[in-house]
Chains A and B, each alone.
Chain A
Amino acid sequence: MLVWSRSGRLVLWLLFALLFGVLFLAPLAVILLSSLADQWNGVLPNGLTTEHYTDVVKGQAWNAVKASLITGFLASALALVSGTWAALSLRLQGHALRRLLGLLFFIPSAVPSVSVGLGLLVAFSHPPLLLNGTVAIVMIAHFVLISAFTFGNVSAGLARLSPDFEQVASSLGARPAYRLWHVTLPLLAPYLVAAFGLSFALSMGELGATVMVYPPGWVTLPVSIFSLTDRGDIFAGAALTMILVVATLALLLGLERITARATGS
């Protein structure tokens, strides 16, 4: 205990409550409140309603939820396969090459998302690689942005893995493919699930690259939230944001429970 006096501790806790309240609690609470606000002219809403949610669900919003979920799922699945593949095969390389390639796999996380989108537009707007205006270019943008992230998570998992299991398996005569499928991947499973969940969450909230490349008819949740608030329809925007937050948190919690059950902790 750093501070022994009761009054000193109380002052610090009040400071914490103030910072936490203003910076983290107030924004979440106010988004929830405004998504339920009937009309809002004073300090508090004049009344509460679920109208914004029903409006949003009746309108284009369901398409946006669907577009975000499909994009997130496919981009995360591809990033998981390629990130795991890269992390596993990097172990077979020599030291220098492993360092260099490891760095290259991380670079997408450092490049601004708008520039990733711009690059895709410049590269894939002409035949034979004409992807501009298709759904695929949105998936690719999301894949590129989250790929470094899945690669990092899986690499961290591999680094913590005790090499004994794999060595025992191969000394017992297990072939590389058998060892990978029955020893390494099951041991990595918690990291794979965590990587998938967090990259899905990142994809659900992605805005910068998506606004650069999205075709009409494939409007993701963040893009439709932006167009709603840009039109001045901020209550509907808040309702859609709540749907996004709840979907993201439900996904993360669900995956966490699956991992906890699988590892028996």
Chain B
Amino acid sequence: MPVSEAVALRAPAVRREPGKLWIVPPAALLALLFFYPLALIARQAFLDDSGIANFAEVIRVLHSRFFLNALINTVSISVAATAGCLVVGLVLALILAFVPFPGSGFIARLIDTFIALPTFLVTLAFTFLYGSAGMLNAGLMETFSLPLPPVDFLYSAWGVILAEVTVYTPFILRPLLAAFSLVDHGQIEAASVLGARPFRIVRQIILPAAVPALIAGGSLCLLLTVNEFGIVLFIGAKGVITLPLLIYGKAIQESAYQVACIIAVVNIALSLGLFGLYRFAAGRLGA
């Protein structure tokens, strides 16, 4: 996704010509369809119907239990899922790049296509795999003659975290493989011939090369997991409400638009902060 744009922004101008107004049509379209609605969300959050600033409702919502729970859920799920993506992505990338096997190129491309698939697919699959009547529970109950399904993590934050690790690991894998392709294999062989153990080579040669990609990929993962909606909606656990799900519930199911807008302002501010972090990290990566 926005991985490549850092390059684009630093491209030198081909030439200067009169024609600066050509930017107006696409900019106006975006302003009308995106920035104007965004401004109206802020307006609806802070002003009442007569157009007077009204912070009582804002303060009430920000102190409410449902908002604080959703905020804590969103942040903790996002941090845990990103940590999982970083670990899994690093392990997969290390093996794909430095201990390749026949067909590893194809497998890397296969994982990459997960970026194009809808996120809720994984949640739906998890229902069949780990749900109370899923394959894993059925297998365990048959094998050990258990009366109740023993595996019960799917309808909790853990179910969401595992699904997000599956969906967002490719976003770590892609920049990591790009970074690893630049590592000098001769250096690794030399270290290896001189008796360095694989673990030491990973720590002293490979990991330093991977740090920028890990930071950029990790901050992108934080952003995407904070914004994730499909996975949480499909798991549909009562105890796992995140900010996007709360906005949907307040606006569509309760028609409480002002409350939805107040929560949306917080969610958008959080996302834009993470976007800034990602841009900063990706900018460093390209430098």
Contact = CB atoms under 8 A, between A and B. Distances in A.
A205 B117 contact: yes
Interface of B: 1-2, 4-5, 7-17, 19-20, 22-23, 25-27, 29-30, 33-38, 40-41, 44, 88, 91-92, 94-96, 98-99, 101, 107, 110-111, 113-114, 116-122, 124-129, 133, 135, 138-139, 142, 165-166, 169, 188-189, 192, 198, 201-202, 223, 226-227, 229-230, 233-234, 236, 243-245, 247-248, 251-252, 257, 260-261, 264, 267-268, 271-272, 274-275, 278-279
Contacts of A112: 226-227, 229, 243-244, 247, 264, 267-268, 271
Contact of B5 (A40, A155, A225): A155
Contact of A102 (B8, B14, B117): B8
A173 B254 CA distance: 63
Given A4-B192, A155-B9, A212-B251, A110 B274 contact: yes
A248 B11 contact: no
Interface string A209-246: 00110000000001001100110001001100100110
B226 A123 contact: no
Contact of B198 (A3, A15, A105, A123): A3
A105 B29 CA distance: 11
Q: Is the interface of A mostly helix, strand, loop or mixed?
A: helix
A195 B75 CA distance: 31
B71 to A, nearest CB: 13
B116 A202 contact: yes
Classify chain A's interface size: 35 or more
A102 B29 CA distance: 15
B92 A229 contact: no
Interface in A92-115: 92-93, 95, 98-99, 101-115
Contacts of A101: 23, 27
Given A19-B91, A92-B19, A159-B7, A207 B1 contact: no
B91 A15 contact: yes
B274 A28 contact: no
A105 B165 CA distance: 28
B119 A205 contact: yes
Contact of A27 (B126, B201, B234, B279): B126
Most chain A beta-carbon contacts within 10 A, residue among B92, B127, B128: B128
17 contacts: A1-B192, A12-B95, A13-B99, A33-B128, A85-B22, A104-B35, A112-B229, A114-B248, A118-B41, A119-B37, A120-B33, A121-B257, A122-B40, A206-B118, A207-B233, A229-B127, A245-B117
A248 B252 contact: no
Contact of A90 (B23, B142, B272, B274): B23
A61 interface: no
Given A110-B223, A234-B128, A249-B113, A115 B9 contact: no
A109 B282 CA distance: 15
B5 to A, nearest CB: 4
Given A90-B23, A159-B11, A241-B121, A207 B230 contact: yes
A152 B252 contact: no
Contacts of A159: 7-8, 10-11
Given A92-B22, A248-B116, A2 B33 contact: no
B98 A153 contact: no
Contacts of A15: 91, 95
Interface stretch (A47-55, A139-147, A257-265): A139-147
Contacts of A116: 34, 37
B26 A89 contact: yes
Contacts of B126: 27
A60 interface: no
B189 A207 contact: no
